[in-house]
Amino acid sequence: MILHGAKGCRIVLAAVVFLWPACGLGQIPPSGCNAIFKAFKDCTLAGKDAIPGIPTFQSYALTGSLLDNKDLDAQRFHPATADDAATGTSAEPDKQGFHWGRALTESVTFLLIEQAYVVHTDFRWVVSENGIPFNHYWRDYKQSLSEWTQSGWDDGDPNWFGYVGHPIQGALTGFIQIQNDPKSEKLEFSKTKAYWKSRLKAALWNAVYSTQWNLGPLSEVTVEKYGSKDRLPWNANGSYPCNTNHCYTGVGQIDVVMTPLGGTGWLIGEDFLDKKIVRRVEEATQNRFLIDTVRVALNPIRSGANMLHGEHPWYRASRDGQEVSSFVDQKSTAPADEVPNARVPNHGNVFFGYTHAGASQCEVPAFGTSTACDPLSSASSNLSGWNTSVEKMYLRYFGAIADFSGQYGGVSQTNFLFGLRGGASIGRFRPFGQAMIGAVRVRENASTGATSDTSFAEDLGLGLDLRLMRLLSWRNQVDELKTGSPDFERRNLRLSSGVALRF
């Protein structure tokens, strides 16, 4: 039995659901420029995202002549030189302070992505007490902290989780601090005091996030109940109960130490590759596809942080200048110190459509073996009904969602789900991934009387919006809905299709 196997690789696997749809193809102008009668002046991203070597509408609109991309970039972005980037100096020094609100928003979004993966992989421990998350919260939390103080270095995970996975987590949170600090975001690898001071601040932010992730009130131990009385120690081979001298509780000091130290080393390593290799590629070619590919390939963790920040994965503050989100009103004239907040979109969408839930698949979570569903779960198969949801965007690629549905057949089932959605527009399409938690209420009306049950649920899904008109899209999505208890889990595949109206 594989116990929890989720700690070190959450970033990589969670990114498949949330960050991959946000990557898109990246070189497509914003949807507003697709309209036939859209004025050239409103297509502010066309020049930046156009294919290299091909004149753009924006270049003509700005200058009255067809400039090549090299001249346009020089006029539009005013990139800093390598020396300026290394020392943090520029012709117009940035007088802004640290963007606390945005940094905390990005950190919480990343925390939710990680916890969504935790809930999915260790669902039986999340609901291990009467099927309710956080049941006996303070008792279990105090017990987990007590176990941690006596745990020693190892927490029972494979070595690569602690020595590779957690440093990846630390590097990403370090980049979150850097990209929200105007004094640090344009600095490149160098021997200057300004560079090393900025990376020290990133390491401190990383350490705070890491401590909360491992020991805080919304940490791994509180969600998965590591070290609690309900989750007893296990043997090195993953079996229960522990009957050797080498027991594991899932908590250890390795993560609190390796995440900030290893994460800072990883971050500096990406800085080094960006300065020594990516810079040389940029000097040798004007092929934007090649440059963007090399940037992402050699700085993968920075790319994830970029998307949390509302930038393209290949964005570099040191030479791309200030990107403008396609969600921003291009006619606005916000002061310079309000530009970061301007990247926060102010729209969302409402969805309403038809939904169908397939046959219930039940298994024993401790062994992963199939089992017969209980009568009520068996009746919760092949149900059809309605599905509605509301999404409010709060970052360029991320939005908060509330999802409600009613399905009918052998039983009446109502779902109440809340969570996070990540996606990006690619022309007329918007692929997205989502993760939600909530409750499912099942009610059966039989001759002997009504029987009902309410249980905790988690939902992971993928979807695609096809834009029909400016504010109207057609959505198709597929979700896996999971409910259950420590001894029994039920999964249903849910298909939904309908219209999404943007507001």
pLDDT in tens, 210-223: 999 988 999 888 88
pLDDT for position 447: 65
**How much is the average pLDDT of 284-311?**
96
Domains of the chain plus CATH, in order, are 10-18+88-320 (no CATH), 348-502 (2.40.160.20)
> What DSSP designation does 426 have?
B
**How much is the average pLDDT of 449-455?**
81
3-state helix, strand, coil in the chain (%, to 5): 40, 25, 35
**How much is the average pLDDT of 334-343?**
44
Among 439, 446, 438, smallest CA distance to 375 is for: 446
The three-class DSSP label of residue 281 is helix
What tokens does 74 get? 């020089």
pLDDT of 228 strictly over 80:
no
Of the two residues 457 and 63, the one the predictor is more confident about is 457
Q: What is the DSSP string of 110-158?
A: HHHHHHHHHHHHTHHHHTTTTT-TTTTHHHHHHHHHHHHHTT-S--SS-
Of the two residues 106 and 74, the one the predictor is more confident about is 106
Task: For strands 348-357 and 361-364, give the pairing.
Answer: unpaired
The reported pTM is 0.75
Quote the Cα angle for 138-140-141, to 5°: 60
pLDDT of 429 strictly over 70:
yes
Contact 266, 253 (CB under 8 A): no
Alpha-carbon 263 to chain mean position: 18
What tokens does 195 get? 């560079």
Side chain identity at 163, as an amino acid letter? Y
DSSP alpha helix (H) spans, 185-335: 193-215, 220-224, 254-273, 279-284, 288-298, 300-308, 317-320
The pair phi, psi for residue 406, each rounded to 5°, is -130, 130
- pLDDT band of residue 456 (cuts 50, 70, 90) is very high
pLDDT of 127 strictly over 80:
yes
pLDDT for position 20: 47
pLDDT for position 35: 39
Among 98, 307, 295, smallest CA distance to 204 is for: 98
pLDDT for position 39: 40
What tokens does 310 get? 């509302």
By mean pLDDT, which of 97-101, 198-202, 288-292, 330-334 is the weakest?
330-334
Of the two residues 73 and 406, the one the predictor is more confident about is 406
The pair phi, psi for residue 271, each rounded to 5°, is -60, -45
**How much is the average pLDDT of 388-392?**
97
pLDDT one-digit tens code per residue, 128-163: 877 788 888 888 888 888 878 777 787 777 778 788
